[in-house]
Each structure stands twice: as structure tokens, then as C-alpha cells.
């Protein structure tokens, strides 16, 4: 088994109603990704990211994805925020067992509602790493851009 890390920016963050899904994480660290965070009409957030920042899309095998993440972290990763994008704040959650993300994949509607992609992440200490992030490729009409880069505002 390999460690796997996910970046959470919504209801999975500490103190929010779905944070129990991350309670078996071995570490939780403040961090940021480049993107645009929106509040959807039901009240929860969605993240859009620059397509060129997507390193790879997730698969249905957390073990495979953990290995991919490990391999990608062997090479330097760049973090930058192009014009028109924001730094979105959230938490980097690391799990010792890659299978720990299966319930989160189900919660997020992985491969149907949200997609899971590997992105560059900047930790609070400015170290750059990668993490799996649940994103949308487009948000529904009526969604509100949160320019603060944080949900809830």
C-alpha cells in the first residue's frame, strides 16, 4: 500500500459536515491550489482549475493512483497562478491506505459529478507537492465565484 494525498476545499475540511470522511488521515495541513472556487446553488462548492495544471486524471484504482502520485512527486512540480485564476485555500489530507479514498470518491460522485485529478499543491511551508483534487470542468448556471478563494466565505 502507498500513501495517497487529497486536497479538500469544501465540506470535507475540518469542522465541516463531511470532515469525518477524512478522520483517518495521518496528517491534515493547510494548503492551496490554483483554481476558481464556486458556491453552487445547493450551498456546497465546486472547483475549476486550469486544464494545463492537470497532471493526470484519476482512475477507479486508488492503489494505482497512489503509485502515480508517488512517481510524479519524484520530479519537481511547479506551482503558479496565471492571470484570471486564484489561490484556493483548503487542506492537504494524507492517508496511509490508498483505499481510504473510496468512500470519498463515492461521496463526490467521482466520474459522474466530480472528477478527481492530480494537481500541484502548495503547503503552508511553501513546499510544492501533488494531491488528488475533486473538480468540475464547468459549473452550473447560478453558481457564484468566490474571489476570496475560500469556502465558506
pLDDT in tens, 2-44: 899 999 999 999 999 999 999 999 999 999 999 999 999 988 9
The model's pLDDT over 39-56, given as tens digits with 9 standing for 90+, comes to 999 889 999 999 999 999
Cα separation, 70 vs 131, whole angstroms? 10
Per-residue cell: 46 = 465546486
Delineate the domains of the chain, giving CATH numbers in brackets: 4-145 (3.10.490.10)
Kindly list the distances between the CA atom of residue 90 and the CA atoms of 2, 37, 41, 44, 121, in Å, as whole numbers in the listed order. Answer: 23, 11, 20, 14, 10
Give the residue from 1, 6, 2, 8 showing the smallest Cα distance to 131.
6
The model's pLDDT over 104-121, given as tens digits with 9 standing for 90+, comes to 999 999 988 999 999 999
The DSSP letter of residue 114 is B
Q: Are 33 and 49 in contact (CB under 8 A)?
A: yes
Per-residue cell: 74 = 519524484
Name, in order, each residue with C-beta under 8 angstroms of 2's C-beta and a sequence gap of 6 or more: 63, 66, 67, 69, 70, 98
The model's pLDDT over 85-102, given as tens digits with 9 standing for 90+, comes to 999 999 999 999 999 999
Cα separation, 32 vs 81, whole angstroms? 11
Q: Are 153 and 147 in contact (CB under 8 A)?
A: no
Amino acid at each position: 500500500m502507498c500513501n495517497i494525498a487529497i486536497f479538500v476545499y469544501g465540506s470535507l475540511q475540518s469542522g465541516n459536515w463531511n470532515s469525518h470522511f477524512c478522520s483517518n488521515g495521518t496528517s491534515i495541513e493547510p494548503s492551496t491550489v490554483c483554481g476558481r472556487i464556486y458556491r453552487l446553488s445547493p450551498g456546497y462548492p465546486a472547483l475549476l482549475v486550469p486544464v494545463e495544471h492537470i497532471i493526470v486524471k484519476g482512475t477507479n484504482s486508488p492503489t494505482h493512483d497512489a503509485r502515480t502520485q508517488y512517481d510524479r512527486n519524484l520530479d519537481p512540480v511547479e506551482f503558479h497562478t496565471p492571470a484570471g485564476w486564484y489561490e484556493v485555500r483548503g487542506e492537504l489530507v494524507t492517508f496511509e491506505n490508498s483505499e481510504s479514498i473510496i468512500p470519498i470518491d463515492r461521496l463526490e460522485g467521482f466520474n459522474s459529478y466530480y472528477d478527481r485529478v492530480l494537481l500541484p499543491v502548495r503547503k503552508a511551508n511553501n513546499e510544492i507537492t501533488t494531491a488528488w483534487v475533486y473538480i468540475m470542468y464547468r459549473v452550473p448556471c447560478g453558481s457564484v465565484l468566490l474571489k476570496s478563494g475560500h469556502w465558506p466565505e
